[in-house]
Amino acid sequence: MKPKGFVRRTRQREVILEVLRGTKGHPTADWVYQEVRKTMPHVSLGTIYRNLKTLSEHGEIQELAFGSTHSRFDANKEVHYHFVCEQCGLIEDLDMPILEGLEEEVAQRGYRVVSHRLEFYGLCPDCAADEEAVSQAN
Amino acid sequence: MKPKGFVRRTRQREVILEVLRGTKGHPTADWVYQEVRKTMPHVSLGTIYRNLKTLSEHGEIQELAFGSTHSRFDANKEVHYHFVCEQCGLIEDLDMPILEGLEEEVAQRGYRVVSHRLEFYGLCPDCAADEEAVSQAN
DNA sequence: GTAAATGCAAAGAATTTGCTAGCCC
DNA sequence: GGGCTAGCAAATTCTTTGCATTTAC
């Protein structure tokens, strides 16, 4: 017997995954939509949303919300941390080691921990440089 | 000379702050609205949103987005970490020490770090207990 | 007195959903 | 061929905004 929620391979779904895997950014649903339309002009935004949801439910991608109103998606399935630039909006993966033992620490408080997220906020290198230039000018 | 963005003390703003400080939850704008209406039936949702925005811009409260589409607000101004139950939606503050040195580690990569957020996802103690009961029943 | 804030309603933005037709396995 | 999916558009949900009036300082 086939599993109930069997996920079918469709052309749309493949293109969406390709697009996500082909970017280092952390795109929004709408960005993905625009990209997919370059290949499939008739794709609908509803399909994008449904597939992004399905893919993240099946662990193929990660759905992330960084403070703002809309979600961002990441094809990087590994646990990793992010930096968010409050000036230009850039979101980057940080190449720092996963903190071991943290989840155990929380588990000792009675929680069953499945995952964790760590994000840093501030200015990215470029924006930090710009700001220094401005403050020197004054 | 008064600062430009001078914030006036209004009754609405006071009630909103009171409501937020009076709960340990991490309420949504709409929950705050319902609470404030108990005291001020004529308050408008727009006022709630405008004030929540103003308050968080002035550091009186924190605005948080936990994966879902809508924001939550927290009158706890101190840096602290959260646990999010994926079953019942509960969001709790964790009484664990702030990780020192983390921001420095990121700063060494060229970023100017202002803050960081750490969240754990999984099952809260109650939901974890429920699940164990179910799995034993089978 | 005047700038800031409110209430109300309408507009916006992001996401979800109902329905019919089509495609995958 | 049965059921998951797509396309399309309408509906929801959350949040923001314009404007006339009120209020804080």
B133–chain A Cβ distance below 8 A for any pair? no
**Per the CB < 8 Å rule, is A65 touching B63?**
no
Average pLDDT over residues A86-91: 88
| Dihedral angle over CA of B94, B96, B98, B100, nearest 10 | -150
The Cα–Cα gap between B62 and B72 comes to: 8
3-state SS assignment for residue A19: helix
What is the share, in percent, of chain B residues with pLDDT greater than 70?
94
A79-to-A50, A74, A119, A121, A128 alpha-carbon distances in Å: 24, 11, 12, 18, 27
- The C1' atom of D18 and the CA atom of A93 lie apart, in whole Å, by 40
A124 to chain B: nearest residue by CA? B111
A6–chain B Cβ distance below 8 A for any pair? no
- The C1' atom of D4 and the CA atom of A92 lie apart, in whole Å, by 35
Q: Which residues of B touch A118 (CB under 8 A)?
A: 102, 116-119
Q: How confident is the model at residue A87 (pLDDT cuts 50, 70, 90)?
A: confident
Count chain A–chain B contacts defined by CB atoms under 8 A.
Answer: 107
Residue type, A86: E
Q: Which residues of B touch A74 (CB under 8 A)?
A: none
Of A66, A110, A118, nearest to B125 by CB-CB distance is A110
**Per the CB < 8 Å rule, is B120 touching A113?**
yes
Q: Per-residue pLDDT for A68 more than 80?
A: no
Query: Does strand D come within 7 Å of the CB of A69?
Result: yes
Q: Per-residue pLDDT for B80 more than 80?
A: yes
**Per the CB < 8 Å rule, is A125 touching B110?**
yes
Q: Per-residue pLDDT for B86 more than 70?
A: yes
pLDDT score of A4: 47
In the stretch 107-126 of chain A, residues with CB closer than 8 A to chain B read 109-125
The Cα–Cα gap between B49 and B71 comes to: 11
- Which of B117, B49, B129, B119 shows the shortest CA–CA distance to B91? B119
- Which of B114, B69, B85, B79 shows the shortest CA–CA distance to B99? B79
B123-to-A59, B68, B80 alpha-carbon distances in Å: 18, 17, 19
Residues lying close to strand D (Cβ under 7 A), chosen from 4-23 of chain A, are 4, 6-8, 10, 12-13
Q: pLDDT digits over B92-117, tens only?
A: 999 999 998 999 999 999 999 999 99
pLDDT score of B48: 98
Lowest mean pLDDT among A65-74, A121-130, B7-16, B24-33: A65-74
* Predicted structure pTM score: 0.87
Whose tokens are 């936990």? That residue is: B66
Task: Name the minimum distance, in Å, from the CA of A34 to any CA of chain B.
Answer: 21
Q: Ranked by mean pLDDT, which of A51-55, B89-93, B129-133 comes out on top?
A: A51-55
CA of B52: nearest nucleotide by C1' is D15
Q: How confident is the model at residue A135 (pLDDT cuts 50, 70, 90)?
A: confident
| Phi, psi of A82, rounded to the nearest 5 degrees | -125, 155
Q: pLDDT digits over A24-55, tens only?
A: 999 999 999 999 999 999 999 999 999 999 99
